Amino acid sequence: GDSVTQMEGPVTLSEEAFLTINCTYTATGYPSLFWYVQYPGEGLQLLLKATKADDKGSNKGFEATYRKETTSFHLEKGSVQVSDSAVYFCALGRPQGGSEKLVFGKGMKLTVNP
Amino acid sequence: GAVVSQHPSWVICKSGTSVKIECRSLDFQATTMFWYRQFPKQSLMLMATSNEGSKATYEQGVEKDKFLINHASLTLSTLTVTSAHPEDSSFYICSGRRMMSYEQYFGPGTRLTVT
């Protein structure tokens, strides 16, 4: 079945450091890929997504490219800020009866220090 | 927009009792709602999908008689954990989806501790 594997943290970085969070998936066909972010005390929020191979999703300085050849969707940001401290989830989605059924990775907690 | 709330945020109950968790879409109509369960350091696992006014569809391995889901209105879904046991202790998260949209909007979660 479908599965998502992502880097496990926690990870602590200094402000302005470069961030990469690895995510690989196992799935047949062409699922959609997502990154969700969960800030302390809040629900998961969609950060970015890509729906087909070679698509690049981007938002708030974060980027991820759908790489079918390596079954990966790594999240990157060139310069993190303290406000980026959160838990990041990689997810795979498939349409299910008109909605998107999501399969999540375990999440990675990022702390950015000033 | 697209805010989902959950109540309570944390609940402790005794083994054998039942507990109800509410999920509300505050500023949109959620035609579909999802319930997830998350164990420490584990990913979110989908438990069930519910469409307003219909019976929930449960994922394989989830006991529908234990985890009762009701989606009676476009803004409210409830999850009732019946005859709770310590192994039901977990973090429960709901999400809602608008009609004609694939995006899910997540609540902040409810931590259930069964003693």
Cβ contact A36–B95 (<8 Å): no
- Which range has the worst mean pLDDT, A60-64, A71-75, B41-45, B88-92? B41-45
Could A89 and B102 be called an inter-chain contact, meaning their C-beta atoms sit closer than 8 Å?
A: no
pLDDT at A101: 81
- A69, A98, B1, B108 from B6: Cα distances, Å: 40, 24, 16, 7
How far, in Å, are A47, A78, B7 from residue A17 at the CA level? Answer: 19, 7, 37
User: Beta A19-21 vs A108-113: how paired, if at all?
Assistant: unpaired
CA–CA separation, A19 and A67 (whole Å): 18
Compute the nearest-CA separation of B55 from chain A (Å). Answer: 14
Q: How far apart are CA B15 and CA B13, in angstroms?
A: 7
3-class SS at B86?
helix
Residues of A with CB under 8 A from a CB of B: 4, 8, 32, 36, 38, 41-46, 89, 93, 95-107
Residue B2 pLDDT greater than 90, yes or no: no
pLDDT, tens digit (0-9, with 9 covering 90-100), for A47-102: 999 999 999 999 999 999 999 999 999 999 999 999 999 999 999 988 765 567 88
Instruction: Give B46's contacts in chain A (Cβ within 8 Å).
Output: 101-103
Query: What pLDDT shows up at residue A99?
Result: 61
Mean pLDDT of chain B: 92
CB contact under 8 A, B43 and A89: yes
Q: What is the pLDDT of residue A30?
A: 84
Per DSSP, the three-state class of B87 is helix
pLDDT of amino acid B14 = 96
